Amino acid sequence: MFDKRLMAMCPESKKYIVGNIICQWTELMVNALMIFIIANAVGKLYRNEMTLNEMIISLLILAGALVVRFFMTKKTTEMSYLASKTVKRVMREQIYKKILRLGNTYREHATTAELVQESVEGVEQLESYFGQYVPQFFYAFIAPVTLFILFGLAGSFKVAGVLLICVPLIPGAIMMVQKIAKKLLSKYWDQYAKLGSTFLENLQGMTTLKTYKADAYKNEQMNAESENFRRITMKVLTMQLNSIIIMDFFAYGGAALGIVLAGKAFIDGDLTLQSTVFMILLSADFFLPMRKLGSYFHVAMNGMAASDRIFKFLSEEEPKEKTSMFPERGLDISLSDICFSYDGEMQVLDGVSIDIREHTFTGIVGESGSGKSTIASLIMGRNSIKQGKLTIAGINVSDINEDSLFKNINYVGIGSTFFKGTVRENLLLAAPKASEEELWNALAECNIDGFFKDENGLDTLLTENAGNLSGGQKQRLALARAILHDAKIYIFDEATSNIDIESEELILSKIKKLAETKTVIMITHRLMNVVDADRINCMENGRVSGNGTHAELLETDGIYRNLWNTQKELEEYGKGGAT
């Protein structure tokens, strides 16, 4: 019923929670005082003993009590707000910091949509937990005990005792409901997160869905998931309503019992009229705090289900603090005996060992799906390696600080990101100090200068992710940007796949020149691109089938030879067909 982790998260909330309880308790005492005065007046009026003075004093006290009560109600709300304000901030901060600490690997633990939901909606639910549920939890026990004492002093301990015994029936009912509620709410949040993920994915992939006319199908899928969510929401609501009925039964039944008992004691002559009125008017207060706790309970349960998920995420294992900086010299890259799987089931890399010497031009080839891009992503530290070792200049990649790793390894893949803005802005990202001339040179080296000259030069506007360029133009621009950036290691992953033959040759020669001063890794399925590489690694189904120069591989590696022969045949055929 009570989550210690949540309290520990936010110790400063404690004082506001205590404040809240004190305010509520004071309000109860003031209430009791008011009812005492009223009961007293009724008794005296009945016996015709009330003087005008007494009447005026009673009214004055009542007015004063009303003012105090109003003030206390206001204070209680304020305390609720203060108690929950910090917890929301602290929780969100923790999630955010956790994402930063997990770095690139956070996706291994939760989807982006899940995290957004948990840190926005989930944390919001905690507000009621701290602001209402926790203070009420204590107050609901303190109030009946207080009233028991007051009833005993002002009336009859017998009636008070019976009422006190009835109070635990309400938490008993709550506890029974809790068992069902916990499972149901965890399902509810699962479904909610699932719906959110699907929605985000479909929204982002809208164009693709439209292209394949699959939007109608996805629409139906979403409808089905929404329907599931509606059903489970209804179940939650039904459960809540049912439990409220049970709690009301005990709360108002208990109050009625109190009234009947007090009435009977009055008829039997055991109680004065004053005491009877006092007890009748206050008997509901015995049960109402518990009843209120019950209604907060559902909101709190929801918050706790959300917080369970948040705590699970917060306790995910983090990569070690990465203190090593990217080494300056001797940048040989060594992969030794690496086995890797994205999902823990399908083995993507299986005992891969590759050596890449500094300032060489290394090719990684192989059929699509053989694990080439995965190797690139491991070198860049995007995924954590569980088996095997990957070092740069002898330092484990997993120990190298991420910022310095990203700064020194430049990856150019098919899906390079561009930002809305001018060509200049996008190029200056890579080299903030580059002159106009250097920018044009880079564009010329990648054979894209002509296109931009015809447009608006370096001021040509790019739309979001350069949507207004063709695939080939985008790749050439990405290459130009990479060349401008002064990284130590370059990884080109199918970076020339969309480019016409003439430009490709030009770019390839530029890349080879780059390899004189930088380490260049060329990942490609087209063997032609790497024939004169210093060393080629041929991949086949997650294994290295062989390595060496082009000539050596033709001799020693059957897989490579087959790939080469097939590609050459196709090319010859292509030429033959054309002429």
Question: In the complex, which residues of this chain contact ligand ADP (CB under 6 A)?
Answer: 342-343, 348, 366, 368-374
- Sequence-separated (6 or more) residues with CB below 8 Å from residue 307: 3, 5, 6, 91, 122, 125, 126, 129
The 3-state DSSP class for residue 460 equals coil
Q: Does 295 bind Mg ion (CB under 5 A)?
A: no
Rg (CA), the chain: 37
H/E element holding 389? strand 387-392
Q: Residue 299 or 539: which CB sits closer to Mg ion?
A: 539
What is the nearest approach in angstroms of ligand ADP to the Cβ of residue 342?
3
Nearest-angstrom CA–CA distance, 128 and 130? 6
Q: Residue 365 or 423: which CB sits closer to Mg ion?
A: 365
DSSP 270-319: SS-HHHHHHHHHHHHHHHHHHHHHHHHHHHHHHHHHHHHHHHHHHTSPPP
* Identity of the residue numbered 567: Q
Q: Residue 352 or 508: which CB sits closer to ligand ADP?
A: 352
Nearest-angstrom CA–CA distance, 446 and 457? 15
Question: Where do runs of H (alpha helix) occur along 429-523?
Answer: 436-445, 449-454, 471-484, 501-514
Binding-site partner at residue 258 among Mg ion, ligand ADP, none, CB < 5 to 8 Å by type: none
Nearest-angstrom CA–CA distance, 333 and 515? 15
Q: Residue 109 or 235: which CB sits closer to ligand ADP?
A: 109
Q: What does the DSSP 8-state code read for residue 268?
A: T
Binding-site partner at residue 370 among Mg ion, ligand ADP, none, CB < 5 to 8 Å by type: ligand ADP
Nearest-angstrom CA–CA distance, 269 and 56? 30
| Contact in structure between 151 and 163 (CB atoms under 8 Å) | yes
What x-and-dash track marks residues 73-112 binding Mg ion by CB under 5 A?
Answer: ----------------------------------------
* Identity of the residue numbered 371: G
Contacting range for Mg ion; rule: CB under 5 A; set: 20-28, 99-107, 300-308, 365-373 = 365-373
Q: Does 373 bind Mg ion (CB under 5 A)?
A: yes
What is the nearest approach in angstroms of ligand ADP to the Cβ of residue 557?
17
Structure tokens at 340: 């890797």
Binding-site partner at residue 371 among Mg ion, ligand ADP, none, CB < 5 to 8 Å by type: ligand ADP
What is the nearest approach in angstroms of Mg ion to the Cβ of residue 347?
17
Counted residue by residue, the chain has a size of: 579
User: Which positions from 209 through 248 interact with Mg ion, judged by CB under 5 A?
Assistant: none
Contacting range for Mg ion; rule: CB under 5 A; set: 176-184, 221-229, 367-375, 552-560 = 367-375
374: left (phi over 0), alpha (psi -120 to 50) or beta: alpha
Q: Residue 73 or 204: which CB sits closer to ligand ADP?
A: 204
| Contact in structure between 20 and 6 (CB atoms under 8 Å) | no
Binding-site partner at residue 303 among ligand ADP, Mg ion, none, CB < 5 to 8 Å by type: none
Q: Residue 167 or 376: which CB sits closer to ligand ADP?
A: 376
Binding-site partner at residue 435 among ligand ADP, Mg ion, none, CB < 5 to 8 Å by type: none
What is the nearest approach in angstroms of ligand ADP to the Cβ of residue 208?
17
What is the nearest approach in angstroms of ligand ADP to the Cβ of residue 492?
12
- Count residues near Mg ion (CB under 5 A): 1
What is the nearest approach in angstroms of Mg ion to the Cβ of residue 492?
11
Residues near Mg ion (CB under 5 A): 373
